[in-house]
């Protein structure tokens, strides 16, 4: 698990924090290669970079990447090229040298749909990849269905090889499993590519390496014996 100190973006109950599972980056690389794209030849803009965990993991695959975020998050990785104070909604274009715009957006934020729609509006020549809950495309949202999924650019969605964990481990490296949920990468093609129905891509199954602390079994009382 890629964890940096000070830990987390926002604290969760029990003094836990959100984190980034390295498999999120690995699954995006696998999805891009499925479509014969070469991540090591691509330049990516991570538009909601946070601390930079996803950026750092993607760099390990040779991808060139720069990031931005509206906030200067605690624990931001200092050696990464992240510009803070940058609001995605204020951007009017994406430089031509950028090949892909990708992020794990704040999907619990009600403005998440608007953010994704705006990225699709300004990234006309680029691939766009969004990491979201697996059920996100099925939600009953007219805006989502019309402006995002129905715009003719939805290319694929990935069935990940395992669940990801978005909660950092404790001091002993154990997870409690509370962050393990089904997610997907939604991939959108450049606007000038021919239309095709979105394809479900099943990624290779992965062995789950996260350690889950076993539940403690209550000792039987005399009444139970």
Superfamily of segment(s) 11-212: Vaccinia Virus protein VP39 (3.40.50.150)
- Segment 151-181, tens digit of pLDDT: 899 999 999 998 887 766 666 666 555 556 7
Please give the average per-residue pLDDT across 37-46, as a whole number.
Answer: 98
Mean pLDDT on 68-89: 93
Mean pLDDT over the full length of the chain: 84
CA atoms within 13 A on the CB side of 53: 24
Rounded to 5 degrees, φ, ψ at 2 are -85, 100
Mean pLDDT within 94-98? 97
Q: How many CB atoms lie within 10 A of CB 19?
A: 22
Distance (Å, whole) CA 84 – CA 28: 24
pLDDT band of residue 33 (cuts 50, 70, 90) is very high
**Is residue 61 pLDDT above 80, yes or no?**
yes
Distance, in Å, from the CA atom of 98 to the CA atom of 88, rounded to the nearest integer, reads: 15
Cα 37 from Cα 132, distance rounded (Å): 21
């Amino acid at each position: 698990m890629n964890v940096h100190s000070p830990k987390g973006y926002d604290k969760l109950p029990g003094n836990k924090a959100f984190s980034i599972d390295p498999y999120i980056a690995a699954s995006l690389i696998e999805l891009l290669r499925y479509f014969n794209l070469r991540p090591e030849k691509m330049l990516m803009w991570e538009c909601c970079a946070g601390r930079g965990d996803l950026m750092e993991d993607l760099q390990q695959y040779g991808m060139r990447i720069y990031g931005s975020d509206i906030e200067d998050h605690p624990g931001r990785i200092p050696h990464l090229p992240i510009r803070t104070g940058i609001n995605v909604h204020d951007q009017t274009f994406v430089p031509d040298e950028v090949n892909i715009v990708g992020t794990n957006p704040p999907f619990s934020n009600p403005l998440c749909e608007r953010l994704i729609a705006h990225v699709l509006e300004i990234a006309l020549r680029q691939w766009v990849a969004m990491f979201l809950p697996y059920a996100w495309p099925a939600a009953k949202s007219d805006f989502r269905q019309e402006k995002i999924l129905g715009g003719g650019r939805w290319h694929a969605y990935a069935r990940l090889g395992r669940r990801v964990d978005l909660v950092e481990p404790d001091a002993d490296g154990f997870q409690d499993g509370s962050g393990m949920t089904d997610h997907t990468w939604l991939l959108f093609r450049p606007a000038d590519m021919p239309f095709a129905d979105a394809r479900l891509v099943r990624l290779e199954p992965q062995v789950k390496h996260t350690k889950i602390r076993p539940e403690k079994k209550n000792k039987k009382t005399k009444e139970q014996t």
